[in-house]
Structure formats: structure tokens, C-alpha cells
Amino acid sequence: MNPNRLFAYFRQRYEGRVEIGRDGQPYQVPDPRGGYAVERLHLAVSEDGRRFVPLNGGEPVWDQWLRDPFLDRDPDGLWHLVGTTRGGRQSILHATSADLRTWVGNDVPVAEGLLDADKRPVNNCWAPEWVWDDAAGEFFVFWSSSAEREGWMKSRLYSCRTRDWKTFTSPTLLFAPPFSVIDGSLLLHGGRWWMFHKEEEFGPETGERRAIRAAVADQLEGPYEVVGEPIAPTITEGPCVAPDPTGPGWLLYYDYCMADGYGIAHSTDLTHWEVIEDYDVPEGARHGSVSLLTPQDAPLLAQLGFHGGIRN
């Protein structure tokens, strides 16, 4: 295999599925198999974007608690990892690595002082990601936050900017559709920004609407306009979109979070998606991100137990 895609993920099987009763209160439908969680950074590689082989023998590559890892390189080639942390209500985890084995990082307060529309302090910073704004020479960082008792209730996407991951601009509202939203993921294509995200609405009032949707904007900061209906099955979350290495089009990755599975779909226009049936994702993979590999990455992968070649 000649891998050209790197998949960053954590592992978990939920103990059950969360639902909302007629009384408006959440409750759990247990999974008879029970649950487990390995909330650490895992890596896997693929040649076709559909079949992934775990690195490091399937074990974590960093012994640091995290969820929802997003991993990509800056213009200088340094890997930047962000993820959900348990270190603070208004912080995310940020770490860097030159070799995918040695990580240096800490919690950073991206949402310090952030208030929701009702002037209440937010209680969480979930599923952060970043994109490089080349024109500004800055990292554009974004995540979901809520001031409710549960992080998925009345959630919105917020953003800030940084040059050094030490000082940050004040957080601002990025995306507030007419539904609770989490798990934003950005893609620049054709001069427009695509915001893939999860609608987080379910229960007697709305029906089951926990699924991936898309929105578009002419500017990175928005405003974003929701496009059409959900583009992935329910109940799914953690979207990531990357070019299809086998030919024209794009691959959408998503997590069947409460059904212990993963999904992949293909599109040629980012709007109409066809579910792929033949794929292989590491067991228990949850909410990951996919980035590009180059032939120069072969020594890094060899240190993590992979000794195949890498193609362009």
C-alpha cells in the first residue's frame, strides 16, 4: 500500500443512545454490549481514502486525554493538533509535532469571557478545528459552545484567530443556524467556504434530525447559508471532507456515534452525496479528521510501524 491519507481519531463505544422523552428530559437507551473509551490520539493511513490501516499497532500515539482530534500541517510543515479537552470549560487542547510521535501541547483559552446570546458564560468548547488564513497570516480557530446544562443544547459555532497559539483575538459568533449546531468543519473550494456541520435536534418536538448538513459563505467569517437538507444518514456527527484520492470528487467522513460505526460518502459537487458501502475504518473509531500525506512522510510512518511506500 502507498498511503496518501492520514486519519486522526479516538476510540469509543458509547454505553447507549441519548434520546429525549415527552417530558423534555434526556434519557439513555443502553447498548447491551456495554461501552468503552480510549480517549487518546490514534492514527491510521490509507491509499484510497476508504480502507485505513492503524499505525503504532492500533495503540495511541500520545498518552494525552482528548476527544475529536483535528490534525493538519501549517505552511511550514509543522503538525498542529487540536481537540476537545477536559481541562476547562473555555479551553481546547493544542499541540504540535514534527514527527507525529513527539507532541508538545497544552490547553489554550480560546473562549475566555465568551457569553451566549443571553449573556451567559459558555460551559464547553467542543470539536475545535483550524484553517490557515494565508492572506492574514493567521490560524482561524473555531468550535462549538453552549451555556445550557448539556453541551449539545442550543449550541452555536464560535471562532477566534491566533498567530502563535499563545494570544488570541476575542471569540466571536461564527454560525448560528435555526437549530442547535456542533462539529463544524471547513473546506475552501471554488472561492467559497463550505461549512459541514451537525444539526443537533431530536426529540418529540423536532423528530430525529441528528445528521450532517452543509452551509456556504463567500468569506471565511461568513455569513454562512445552510444548503438543502441533511447530506448523511441519522444519527451521525463529526464530519470531515477531503479530496477523493482515486479520482474526481470528494469524500465525506462521518461518525455513527451512537451505533458504534463510521461512514463514508462520495460527491462530485459537495451537495449530492452517495454512501460508500465498501470501506474499512479502525474498530471503535470516533470523530476523526483526514489530512494529506507526501512521499517525504515515509520516515515518520516507519517510526510508527508502517514500512510501505508513499505516492504523490
> What number is the average pLDDT over the span 298-304?
92
Q: Are 160 and 167 in contact (CB under 8 A)?
A: no
pLDDT in tens, 49-92: 999 999 999 999 999 999 999 999 999 999 999 999 997 789 99
Angle made by CA atoms 101, 105, 106, in degrees to the nearest 5: 150
Q: What is the pLDDT of residue 25?
A: 80
Burial category of 75 from C-beta neighbours within 10 Å (exposed 0-12, middle 13-18, buried 19 and up): exposed
pLDDT in tens, 12-49: 988 777 877 777 788 777 777 777 889 999 999 999 99
The answer to whether residue 204 scores a pLDDT higher than 90 is no
- pLDDT, the chain, mean: 94
Taking every pair of C-alpha atoms in the chain, what is the biggest distance, in angstroms?
Answer: 57
| DSSP assignment string, 99-128 | SSS--EEEEE-TTTT-B-TTS-B----EEE
The answer to whether residue 177 scores a pLDDT higher than 60 is yes
Question: Which cell numbers hold the place of 74?
Answer: 501549517
> What number is the average pLDDT over the span 83-102?
94
Any idea where the domains of the chain sit in the sequence? 5-303
Which homologous superfamily does the CATH classification assign to the domain defined by 5-303?
Answer: Glycosyl hydrolase domain; family 43 (2.115.10.20)
Residue 223, preceding peptide bond in cis (omega within 30° of 0) = yes
Q: How many alpha carbons lie under 13 Å from residue 69 in its C-beta half-sphere?
A: 31
The neighbour count for residue 62, using CB atoms within 10 Å, is: 20
pLDDT in tens, 249-294: 999 999 998 888 999 999 999 999 999 999 999 999 999 999 999 9
> What number is the average pLDDT over the span 175-180?
98
The answer to whether residue 312 scores a pLDDT higher than 50 is no
Q: What is the pLDDT of residue 310?
A: 52
Counting residues of the chain whose pLDDT is more than 70, the rounded percentage is 98
pLDDT in tens, 103-144: 999 999 999 999 999 999 999 999 999 999 999 999 999 999
Which residue in 87, 179, 177 sits closest to 124, CA to CA? 87
